[in-house]
Amino acid sequence: MARLSKIERQQKIIAELQATPTIRALDLAKNLQVSTETIRRDLEELEAKGLINRTYGGASRPLSPDGDISQREQMFVRERENIAREATRFVNHGDVIIIAGGSTTLHVARRLAAEKHDLLVVTDSFAVAEIIATNSTIRVQMCPGTYNPRERSVYGADTINFLERVYANQIIIGTSGLTKGGICSADYDIGSTYSAVVKRGSEVTVVADHSKIAQTAVHTFASWSEVTRLVTDQPPYDEELIGAIKLARVEVVVAQDIWGNN
């Protein structure tokens, strides 16, 4: 086994916790061929980012996998780039789009800015707005609202009232978790905004890497019946989740890896 970088190693740890709710540090050290001290440091960093919970002798899944947006941007970069490439295919030049804030939607915003023209993009996210604004043919409309510095986005009654006067060809939205009950947010206030977002478009595209599969969070902001498609990097494996997606007839698009692997 080739020696993994720290980021690759930590992504492996998170992936392990998608398959099992708890894991022992000794097992991680053996599987990843590093010392227990290295694993201990990895677990400390992942816990500080809110991506895991430390337990005696190991780690467990958190209620939500989210840290703040600057921390989440560093995780699953390659997977999210692949997801963004696929999600962009469903956007036409000249469309009106609502792009919700989030680490995966930032990748979509970069791809849209590079490939599309004459869009009108409505967003609650300052980070998304800054990226989209690099393309002079794309107009950006910021939602009003209360600023959340952790997410670099706005939320609240003013945001929701504004969104109720907007209608888009396409909604592009991320998530903290995908469950049989629907699409989740780790923040109740932001989730309330996203509940309004998903009702404001002809199509709703959810973008989520495999770490979100079968993860729950505090606020289920949309049911599967409100979703047009899910763009992800790996097929969902949870049987209850698969059943809910099929029942709602949601299109599942699995992004091919840019290097030729799934």
Range name among 7-16, 61-70, 152-161 with the lowest pLDDT average: 61-70
The amino acid present at 186, given as its one-letter code, is: A
Where in the sequence of the chain do the CATH 3.40.50.1360 domains occur? 71-254
* Domain covering 71-254, topology: Rossmann fold (3.40.50)
pLDDT, position 11? 83
Rounded to 5 degrees, φ, ψ at 232 are: -140, 175
Name the strand (E) or helix (H) holding 141. strand 139-142
Where in the sequence of the chain do the CATH 1.10.10.10 domains occur? 6-62
Written as one string, the DSSP assignment of 133-190 is TTSTTSEEEEPPSEEETTTTEEESHHHHHHHTT--EEEEEE--SEEETTEEEESSHHH
Q: Note the CATH number of domain 6-62.
A: 1.10.10.10
pLDDT, position 261? 45
72 pLDDT band, cuts 50/70/90, is: low
Q: Distance (Å, rounded) from C-alpha 136 to C-alpha 128?
A: 14
**Contact present, 235 and 210 (Cβ < 8 Å):** no
What integer best gives the mean pLDDT of the chain? 88
**Contact present, 117 and 137 (Cβ < 8 Å):** yes
For 13-19, what is the mean pLDDT? 77
For 144-157, what is the mean pLDDT? 91
pLDDT, position 186? 83
Q: Is the pLDDT of residue 262 over 50?
A: no
Tokens standing for residue 228: 């047009």
Q: Is the pLDDT of residue 60 over 70?
A: yes
Q: Distance (Å, rounded) from C-alpha 212 to C-alpha 172?
A: 16
Range name among 14-23, 78-87, 220-229 with the lowest pLDDT average: 14-23
Q: pLDDT tens digits, residue range 130-145?
A: 999 999 999 999 999 9
CA angle 190, 223, 128 (to 5 degrees): 40
Q: pLDDT tens digits, residue range 75-84?
A: 678 889 999 9
Give, in order, the Cα–Cα distances in Å from 21 to each of 17, 57, 62, 239, 254.
6, 14, 9, 16, 24
pLDDT, position 21? 66
227 pLDDT band, cuts 50/70/90, is: very high
pLDDT, position 81? 92
69 pLDDT band, cuts 50/70/90, is: low
Q: Distance (Å, rounded) from C-alpha 69 to C-alpha 89?
A: 25
Give the closest residue to 65 by CA, choosing from 182, 215, 173: 215
CA 185 to chain centre: 10
Q: Is the pLDDT of residue 259 over 60?
A: no
Give the closest residue to 160 by CA, choosing from 144, 140, 171, 142: 144
Residue 213: half-sphere exposure toward Cβ, Cα within 13 Å: 25
For 233-253, what is the mean pLDDT? 93
pLDDT, position 19? 66
Q: Which residue has the higher pLDDT, 261 or 72?
A: 72
